[in-house]
Amino acid sequence: MVFSLDMSMFRVFRQAVDMSQAKLADLARISQAKVSKIENGKGNPELATLRALCAALDLEMVLVPRRISGDVQRMIDRHINRNVVASTPVMSARDELFIPDGED
């Protein structure tokens, strides 16, 4: 299995919820130094660590076909950077994405 993951996205999501590295480390039950290494692209976390980080940040890990990964990244960037009116909080980017299954 080959996959690409931009570990700096953990920093983006952590900062989006105003969480410190120490708090994320505590919730994921790993060291703050490990969180720092992962966010800086210097760590090679195991799947269990990735799952723990995602759980701590209330994220869902999803495998995306490489052929549409650029579209997905743009959708995520738009979702994170969107100005949200207080009365309509964004709960999920899932509804904004349609992935064709390749079948006609």
CATH number, span 8-56 = 1.10.260.40
pLDDT band per the 50, 70, 90 thresholds, residue 7:
confident
Reply yes or no on whether the pLDDT at 83 is more than 50.
Answer: yes
Query: What pTM does this model have?
Result: 0.61
Residue tagged 């992962």 (tokens) = 38
pLDDT of residue 54: 92
Of 13-17, 81-85, 95-99, which range is least confident? 95-99
CB of 28 closer than 8 Å to CB of 56: yes
Q: Where are the domains of the chain?
A: 8-56, 66-96
CB of 65 closer than 8 Å to CB of 82: no
Give CA–CA dist 101/82, Å, rounded: 28
What is the arithmetic mean of pLDDT over 5-20?
Answer: 86
pLDDT of residue 68: 73
- The SS3 of residue 87 is coil
